[in-house]
Amino acid sequence: MADLSVNFAGIKSPNPFWLASAPPTNMGSMVERAFDAGWGGAVWKTLGEPIVNVSSRLASIDQGSLRMIGLNNIELITDRPLDVNLKEIYECKKKYPNHAVIVSLMVESKREAWHDIVKRSQDTGADGFELNFGCPHGMSERGMGAAMGQVPEYTCMVTEWVKEVSDLPVIVKLTPNVTNILPPGKAAQKGGADAVSLINTINSVIGVDVDTMVPYPNVNGMAAHGGYCGPAVKPIALNMVSELARDEEFTIPISGIGGINTWRDAVEFMLLGAASVQVCTAVMHYGYRIVEDMIDGLNNYLDDKGFASVNNIIGQSVSRVTDWGNLDLNYDVKAHVNKEHCIRCNLCYVACEDGAHQSFTFEEVDGKRYPFVVEEECVGCNLCALVCPAPGAITMHRVDAGGPPQSWRQRTGSS
């Protein structure tokens, strides 16, 4: 079996699967059960000034029979006493010395406040800190969370404050609620962060009850914007992780977060530069034991690919991500209908006719009518293959001569 252990910014854990700072890490008994199930690390639910949460707090988007493909929450940081949390962190780390225990922190933008909570928290024996600069609701309206993370200067400043009083590894949790992830990421690095984690939740209103006309989640007839997470946000998270990973000036490790449900999701994050991954929504949906499948799946993948360690796959796909202007304009693919798999639903024809490039017609074979691709009209957009419900019925074939690639920048002489 491959070696799954990781050393993330000086924080060691038996595998790269960590619980994200969220309800599944709300108390010591929960984190201990998670470690017993196989999780390699946990980021404690964010500690800070006392708060009062509302009810209800969660709402979701379903897709057909699939529940919670997107989850919205308006829950804030821990509402448990700081002293109780610190005691449980100490006891948990003492009981599980080989697992990663990270303390997530969020307080107001005052040096004294950050110094105080950092000093108190590091006495627990925890392995490191995660600075929560990502929460988009409730706390941000008080000048914390995303309100810090959206201003690179604040991100740098607070990170420096933490590093003034602690030698423990510091992870800065970045908000996705920005137009460009590079400035806050680089600001964290400039401030002395040992690593970053991303993404935190995305600002959202999940929907409205059309009968009562009250948005979700309903708090006595009112609602507020919240943080969006779950499988639906994975593409956004992968983009932001890869943007940092492929920037030559960004050199600190990345912990990937956002829509990780399976070992495949985790591998995708690691291939794009994440050295560890954090999971929340999937645990809230299916429980701690999903990590068993994640560990088995990752082990089998590494064995199949011939990798001795999980660290060998980190960043393997980063060089494959580029700007649009560098893509090969000469590369050409066309769709092809494989009649032996086609169920003749004609969804490919409808999608192409009304939503793409009108590249389908029909042909009759043995008295049956099949969709047929007009290659001269097909632009290789993939839409037909994406909407096709029959596996293998539509495939994309390369039709160019395979000559030297030519990008838009090369063709136009643009820099």
- The residues that bridge with 17 in the sheet, in sequence order, are 277
CB-based burial label for 223 (10 Å; 0-12, 13-18, 19+): buried
Question: What gap in Å lies between CA 238 and CA 375, rounded to an integer?
Answer: 33
Q: Compute, in degrees rounded to 10, the torsion defined by CA atoms 233, 241, 103, 203.
A: -40
CA-based R_g, the chain, Å: 24
Count Cβ atoms below 10 Å from residue 385 Cβ, excluding itself. Answer: 16
Instruction: Please tell me whether residue 208 adopts helix, strand or coil conformation.
Output: strand
Q: Compute, in degrees rounded to 10, the torsion defined by CA atoms 189, 143, 281, 96.
A: 60
**105 HSE (CA, 13 A, CB side):** 28
Could you confirm whether 378 is annotated as catalytic?
no
Residues 242 and 316: beta-carbon distance below 8 Å: no
Catalytic residue among 135, 280, 378, 384: 135
Q: What is the SS3 assignment for 253-277?
A: CEEEECCCCCHHHHHHHHHCCEEEE
Instruction: Please tell me whether residue 339 adopts helix, strand or coil conformation.
Output: coil
Residues that are catalytic: 135
